[in-house]
C-alpha cells in the first residue's frame, strides 16, 4: 500500500474523520456510526466498523494498527508503541478476549472487553500482560514485572495488583469492593461472590486459591 494515502468508504450514519501526519496510510470501511482515525506514524492503519456508536482510533507509533469494531458501545483505542496492534486480540491466559489499548506503557500487552471497558484502568511496568473483561463497576489493574493479570468482573469495583512473574486470575460477581494484591511470584486464583467487601494480600511467593 502506498504511503501518505487515506482511503475511506463510508456507508454509515455518521461522519468519518481521518488525519495522517506520518508516511503511513489510513483505510476506513464504515457501515456504523462515525469513525475518527489519527495516524501519526509510518504504519498502516485499517479500520472496519459496524459499531453503532462512535469509534476513535489513534496511533502515535510506527506499528500497523488493525481494528474491527462492532456492537453498540463507544470505542476508543490509543496505541503508543512501534509494535503492531490488533483489535480484537487473543489475551494471554484467558482464551479469546476483545482487546483495547488504553494508553499505558505496554499497550500491546493489554486486553480490555465487556460492557464497561471505559471503567478499566491498567498500568504495566515491565513485560507483563493485563486482560480484563469488565461487565461490572470500575476495575484497576496494575502489573509490575513479567506476570499476568486476568480479570473477569461482573460485580462491584475491583483492584488487582500483581508484582512478580506469576499469574493472577480474579473472577468476581461480588457486589462489594474486591481488592487482591500479590507481591510474590506465586500464581493467585480468586473467585469472589456475595455482597461483602473482600481484601486479599499474598506476600509469600506461593500459589494460592480463594476460596
Tens-place pLDDT, residues 41-81: 888 899 999 889 888 888 888 888 888 888 887 887 877 77
Angle, vertex CA 133, rays to CA 38 and CA 52, nearest 5? 50
Every domain of the chain and the residues it spans: 1-87, 103-211
Residue 141's pLDDT band, with cuts at 50, 70 and 90, is very high
The answer, yes or no, to whether residue 105 has pLDDT greater than 60, is no
- Give the separation between CA 25 and CA 8, rounded to whole angstroms: 11
The residue that leads in pLDDT, 95 or 203, is 203
The answer, yes or no, to whether residue 2 has pLDDT greater than 90, is no
- Output the nine-digit C-alpha cell for 131: 486482560
The answer, yes or no, to whether residue 89 has pLDDT greater than 70, is no
If you ran DSSP here, which 8-state letter would residue 102 be given?
B
The answer, yes or no, to whether residue 99 has pLDDT greater than 50, is no
- Give the separation between CA 134 and CA 138, rounded to whole angstroms: 8
pTM for this structure?
0.55
Lay out the sheet containing 120-125: strands in order across: 120-125, 139-144, 158-163, 178-182, 198-202
Single out the residue of 97, 51, 96 nearest to residue 74, CA to CA.
51
- Give the separation between CA 23 and CA 32, rounded to whole angstroms: 27
Amino acid at each position: 500500500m502506498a504511503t501518505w494515502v487515506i482511503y475511506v468508504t463510508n456507508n454509515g450514519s455518521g461522519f468519518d474523520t481521518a488525519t495522517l501526519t506520518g508516511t503511513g496510510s489510513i483505510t476506513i470501511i464504515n457501515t456504523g456510526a462515525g469513525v475518527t482515525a489519527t495516524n501519526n506514524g509510518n504504519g498502516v492503519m485499517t479500520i472496519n466498523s459496524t459499531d453503532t456508536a462512535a469509534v476513535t482510533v489513534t496511533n502515535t507509533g510506527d506499528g500497523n494498527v488493525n481494528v474491527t469494531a462492532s456492537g453498540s458501545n463507544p470505542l476508543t483505542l490509543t496505541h503508543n508503541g512501534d509494535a503492531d496492534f490488533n483489535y480484537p486480540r487473543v489475551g494471554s491466559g484467558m482464551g479469546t478476549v476483545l482487546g483495547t489499548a488504553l494508553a499505558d506503557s505496554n499497550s500491546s500487552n493489554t486486553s480490555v472487553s465487556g460492557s464497561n471497558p471505559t471503567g478499566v484502568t491498567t498500568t504495566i511496568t515491565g513485560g507483563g500482560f493485563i486482560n480484563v473483561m469488565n461487565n461490572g463497576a470500575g476495575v484497576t489493574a496494575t502489573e509490575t514485572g513479567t506476570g499476568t493479570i486476568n480479570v473477569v468482573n461482573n460485580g462491584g469495583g475491583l483492584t488487582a495488583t500483581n508484582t512478580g512473574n506469576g499469574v493472577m486470575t480474579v473472577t468476581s460477581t461480588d457486589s462489594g469492593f474486591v481488592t487482591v494484591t500479590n507481591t510474590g511470584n506465586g500464581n493467585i486464583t480468586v473467585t469472589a461472590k456475595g455482597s461483602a467487601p473482600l481484601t486479599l494480600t499474598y506476600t509469600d511467593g506461593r500459589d494460592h486459591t480463594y476460596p
